[in-house]
Structure 1
Amino acid sequence: MTRPNTRMPMPIFHLHLDECGNVSRDETGTEYPDVDSATEAATKAAREVMCAEIAG
């Protein structure tokens, strides 16, 4: 049973990056309230990486 005023910790998601087999592991992770928020953040980060690659 949880007390009503007790705050539950948010889950920590690790967003690893794999660029053509070159993997950068997210050792720290980031707190997101839910999997949808983590997916949105990962999608945004992937778009930023791809745009940077295209821009050169």
Structure 2
Amino acid sequence: MRRPLSALLDRAHIRYRSLTARGLGALYTIMLIGFLAYLTQQSVAQLLAIWTG
């Protein structure tokens, strides 16, 4: 029989790990969106430079 405190700590640790994974996923998504926006901004600027040439 395990002590209730260790079981509580294990549960809290699992919850913390899932929250951390979710936070990292959100961070990667934000970074990916920012990178894509940067790429499209660069390509749009290049297209405008070519068109206005």
Would you call these one fold, judging by a TM-score over 0.5? Answer: no
* Higher RCO (CA 8 Å, separation ≥ 6 residues): 1
| Structure in which a larger fraction of residues adopt strand | 1
Q: TM-score, normalised by structure 1?
A: 0.41
Give the number of the structure whose alpha-carbon radius of gyration is greater.
2
Larger helix proportion of the pair: 2
Q: With structure 2 as the length reference, what TM-score do the two structures score? A: 0.44
